[in-house]
Amino acid sequence: INTHTHTHTHTHTHTHTHTHRSFNSEWYKQHPWLEYSQSQNSAYCFACRHFSLPNTPASVFTSQLGFSHWKKAMYKDGGFKVHEKSEGHINAMFAWGEHKKAILTDSSILDALNEAYNKKVQENRKYIKTVAEVLLLTSTQNIAQRGHRETEGADNRGNFLEILEMIAKHDPVVQKKMKGKQNAKYTSSVIQNEILECLANMVRDEIIREVKESEVFSVIADETKDLKKKEQLSLVLRYYYNGAVHESFLDFQQATRLDAEGLKDKIIHRLERYGLEYRSNLVGQGYDGASVMSGKHSGVAARIKTDAKHAVYVHCNAHCLNLVLIDTVKAVPEADCFFALLQKLYVYISGSYVHQKWLDVQKEMYEGQPRELQKLSDTRWACRYLACRNLMDRLPAVLRVLHDIATENSGERSVDARGLLTQLDISFVSLLATFRRLLGDAKVLSDTLQSPSLDLAMALDLVSALKDSFQEYRKETFVDNLWKSIVDTRKCNDGDKDSFRRTIFYPIVDTILGELDRRFSKVNCEIMRGIQALNPKSTCFLQEEAVFRLGEIYESDSEDLSHELHQTRRLLQRKQQSGMANLSGIVELAVFLEPHKDVFHELFRLCKIAIALPVSSAACERSFSALKLIKTHLRTTMADDRLSNLGVLSIEARRAKSLDMDKFIKLFATNHQNRRINLIIFNKLYLS
């Protein structure tokens, strides 16, 4: 019963007695203590029923039957008037009044407490949000958070605390919290880890949501050693979502076992942890060519395929191109010696005395900024193009530097210069010009293969285009033009040209063409033919046989697929007749079909599969670059979970920067309830 507010109901029907009289609602105005029961057709006293003092004599207004003599209700010597004058009623009315005063007072106190509490919570939320934003800033910028000494009075307490202190100078709320209790500042390493985990999980949740909506996906994985000599496994998911290809980083994991079974368990455990249905939806695997990953019978790819039968292994195409160049150099001895000499020249020019002379000579001979010779990369052969280009453009300056030092008679340095000068002959210059051209073309392909938006069909087209270019290079006109650039650098005769063509240029070009055919022969397999048939630029676009075979591999409904192919051709023809531009790739075909995906379900699914199949493992390589920026020499003691969370926030910085911080506060407050700082706002506080 609500003893705070006593309300009267005027809408009920009052029953007439045998005297044809009934309860009158107007009596409520004169007697606010009055209450009426329609079922009993009787009146009662609200005050006496609820606030009578102990041992108060019973009254008809508190009895079960109640008062119903309506004729006497308003008599001076009976009914309501007499009851109002009774001592018991007067005491009850006083008690009721005091009760209402107390309730009103308590309500004011509750409102004040509620307002003060919510104000405190708002301050707490603002402070925690600021702490999280500082951690987010340092994470996305790959800045170390913690300092060597974080105690009060230390000169440098680390980027995280120093940035917070700077903000505190301009924000009274942050300043108040920073000067508060030590155990309620929320700046400890434990709290940092919890906030970073919450932020990283929000990014992961967004990625997982997109993958689940896309349905099909591929996994790309690679491992590397960090500065602590721990093997870190990088995991990336590739999928089609919202009209674009996505390669999203999921996390780093320490790989304690480097055998195929151990690595396979790591990958599967992560997919299961994030609730991804890999048995039917995992359509591709992208790794490098290491035997532990690509082994036909017991490698990681083969083991995963036993559980996920659709998970086709794709050898990283960027690695394939790299192997083409490596095998070419090994097959042509002159080329192998050329790159060894190129590295020796870089080392010699990099010496302090020689390097200064190198800069001075360039300033005399050329306008603009001096160029540096490039160190050769052992793993990225296409990048050696820059080394060849810079040396070719600055070869006269190199020869002058070596000649000047050789005539100085300065001991070992002069001897080395004479030796290098002797070896920079016509053969070296010929190889330099050749590899500048060939590696330049290969670098364009290498850079394109590393693009996340590239699909396999386009990759195979680019490889074919490179092979066509190299075939053109075997023509006499190209060799003549290339030889002219060599003649402009060194004096030579016609016999040198024939020797160059026969012993250097043709063997290198033929070896590259042979290796390209061998390494990229997968174009003949059924999956690749099916993917090509989904490429609008292909001559076999929407060819039924190739698409049907791809559909069989991925268990499509052949009858539905046949109807969809027929309707798609007709739809594309009508669109082209109306002036729509031709589609240029599988992604554009998927975008075209997506508004009608319920109608073209099977064909749209095959497009998503073709897009999801990995082209290269470059996304993992890029994550290793982030790993080096995060786990530096000064941060080698970083825990694996923190490293993984920082990796997600750094690599997926675009997603991290767009996080809803109010949502973060709610998640943080929900997941971490035992806190010294209240973060949950209540609409009302209740006191017992």
Domain end (from 21, 52, 85): 85
What is the torsional sign of CA 26, 31, 33, 36? negative
Choose one of 592, 612, 632: the last residue of a domain.
612
Q: Answer yes or no: do 326 and 362 share one domain.
A: yes
pLDDT digits (tens, 9 = 90+) for 154-195: 778 889 999 999 999 999 988 888 887 766 778 888 889 999
Last residue of a domain, which of 499, 523, 547? 523
Question: Do residue 257 and residue 390 come from a single domain?
Answer: no
Q: Is residue 273 a part of any domain in this protein?
A: yes
Over residues 92-111, the mean pLDDT reads 78
- This model's pTM is above 0.85: no
**Cβ-contact 145, 192 below 8 angstroms:** yes
DSSP 158: -
Q: Is residue 188 part of a domain?
A: no
Does 325 fall in a domain? yes
Mark whether 338 and 287 lie in a shared domain. no
Is residue 531 located within the same domain as residue 468?
A: no
What residue numbers bound the domain in which 418 lies?
A: 321-523
Residues 607 and 495 occupy one common structural domain: no
Q: How large is the angle between the packed helices 384-393 and 426-449, nearest 10 degrees?
A: 140
Percent of the chain with pLDDT over 90: 43
Q: What is the rounded average pLDDT for all residues in the chain?
A: 86
Using CB atoms within 10 Å of the CB of residue 460, give its burial: 0 to 12 exposed, 13 to 18 middle, 19+ buried. Answer: buried
Same domain, 485 and 543: no
Query: Residue 683 above 60 pLDDT?
Result: no
CA–CA distance, 402 with 411 (Å, rounded to integer): 14
Q: Which two tokens stand for residue 71?
A: 């004729």
Task: Please report the DSSP string for 294-361 in residue order.
Answer: H-TTTSHHHHHHHHSTT-EEEE-HHHHHHHHHHHHHHH-HHHHHHHHHHHHHHHHHTSHHHHHHHHHH
Q: Sign (positive/negative) of CA torsion 343, 348, 352, 357? A: negative
In a domain, 518, yes or no: yes
- The three-class DSSP label of residue 132 is helix
pLDDT band at 99 (very low <50, low <70, confident <90, very high): confident
**What residues contact residue 3 under an 8 Å CB cut-off, 6+ apart?**
50, 51, 96, 99
Q: Is residue 664 domain-resident? A: no
Same domain as 471, residue 362: yes
Distance CA 550, CA 216 (A): 15
CATH of the domain at 255: 3.30.420.40
Answer yes or no: is 117 within a domain: no
Q: How confident is the model at residue 686 (pLDDT cuts 50, 70, 90)?
A: very low
Same domain, 504 and 426: yes
499 and 583 part of one domain: no
pLDDT digits (tens, 9 = 90+) for 33-71: 999 998 889 999 999 998 888 888 888 999 989 999 888
Q: Say if 123 falls within a structural domain.
A: no
Residues, the chain: 688
Q: Which residues pair with 231 in a beta bridge?
A: 225
In the chain, how many domains are there?
Answer: 4
Same domain, 590 and 493: no
For 241, the 3-state DSSP assignment is strand
Question: Does residue 208 fall inside a structural domain?
Answer: no
In sequence order, the β-bridge partners of residue 218 are 238, 284
Q: For residue 485, name the pLDDT band (cuts at 50, 70, 90).
A: confident
Tell me the sheet residues that pair with 235.
Answer: 221, 251
| Domain co-membership, 487 together with 625 | no
- Shared domain for 366 and 430, answered yes or no, is yes
Q: How does pLDDT run across 219-272, given as a tens digit for each residue?
A: 999 999 999 899 999 999 999 999 999 999 999 999 988 888 999 999 999 999
- pLDDT tens by residue, 492-535: 565 677 788 888 888 999 999 998 888 886 544 778 888 889 99
DSSP, res 502: I
Model confidence at 674, pLDDT cuts 50, 70, 90, reads low
DSSP code string of 536-554: TTSTTTT-HHHHHHHHHHT
In order of 453, 467, 582, 594, 610, the CA distances from 533 in angstroms are: 19, 21, 15, 18, 10
